[in-house]
Amino acid sequence: MATKIQIARPTKMELARLKKRHRLALRIQKIVKDRLSILVMEFIQTIKESARLRLRLYEEMAHAHTSFSLTAGYHGYEPLKKELLGAVSVLKIRAESRNVAGVRIPMFENAQEFSPHDEPRNPLDYSGHMEHTQTLAHSCLETLVELAELQKSLDLLGIEINKVKRINNALEYVVIPSLFLTIKYLNMKFEERDREEAARLKRVKLLIEQREAYAY
């Protein structure tokens, strides 16, 4: 895309103003690039953590499924179904946030307390197998909450990275080159004007000297 030369008034005051804007644009670009680097590093770290949690979740779900199958084989599906229905409760999530380069990153925490049954149970209806299955299921839930936090963080970071990239590209390929070319053009124009002025003064001086010589 061709860079346009922006000229409002071809004066030295305008040139000074453009130079000031150019320096400011360079400082802003440096800040934008630093912020973009922080966001990208956070994004990459979050991706790595998300991949690690996904693998952990797959393993936990595989163990939970195996334990569920063993429990169903030990107690039967009806007692297991009855126990699971009795354990159904409302999921409570505590949400907070942290600031990463101006982006509010969510922090989720499972606020639901989990404690296996302490009261005596009929071994035919409840055993260590069922308790172990419930513990594994709760562990899967904890990992899912962590994974949801990371996924939301990736969405927010991705949106912000795209915004900052657009700002950086506008500065790097439009604003700064346009200011640079305008400043360069005005410098050349003023240099040419100064040369013309010097040549004109020299010509006037020569005419005055010639007129004085003819007067004598």
pLDDT value of position 56: 92
Does some domain include residue 1?
Answer: no
Segments forming the whole domain that contains residue 82: 29-114+124-215
Phi, psi angle pair for 91, to nearest 5°: -75, 130
Closest CA to 150 of 43, 35, 41, 36: 43
- pLDDT of 86-139, one tens digit each? 655 667 777 788 888 888 888 877 766 655 544 445 554 556 677 777 788 888
Instruction: Please tell me the distance from the alpha carbon of residue 59 to that of residue 140, in angstroms, as a whole number.
Output: 9
pLDDT value of position 127: 64
Determine the average pLDDT of the residues in 20-35: 94
Rounded to the nearest 5 degrees, what angle is found at the Cα of 107, between the Cα atoms of 133 and 87?
A: 25
Number of domains the chain contains? 1
Does some domain include residue 201?
Answer: yes
CATH number at residue 70: 1.10.287.3240
For every residue of the chain, which 3-state class applies, written as one string? CCCCCCCCCCCHHHHHHHHHHHHHHHHHHHHHHHHHHHHHHHHHHHHHHHHHHHHHHHHHHHHHHHHHHHHHHHHCHHHHHHHHHHCCCCCCEEEEEEEECCEEEEEEEECCCCCCCCCCCCCCCCCHHHHHHHHHHHHHHHHHHHHHHHHHHHHHHHHHHHHHHHHHHHHHHHHHHHHHHHHHHHHHHHHHHHHHHHHHHHHHHHHHHHHHHHHC
pLDDT value of position 118: 46
pLDDT value of position 37: 94
Does some domain include residue 37?
Answer: yes
Does some domain include residue 134?
Answer: yes
Query: For the chain, how far is it from start to end, CA to CA, in angstroms?
Result: 65
Does some domain include residue 14?
Answer: no
Closest CA to 180 of 192, 190, 172, 169: 172
Determine the average pLDDT of the residues in 19-33: 94
Count of C-beta atoms within a 10 Å radius of residue 70: 14
Candidate from 41-45, 134-138, 179-183, 187-191 with smallest mean pLDDT: 134-138
**Residue 156: pLDDT above 60?**
yes
**Residues facing residue 94 across a β-bridge:** 109
pLDDT value of position 119: 47
Does some domain include residue 22?
Answer: no
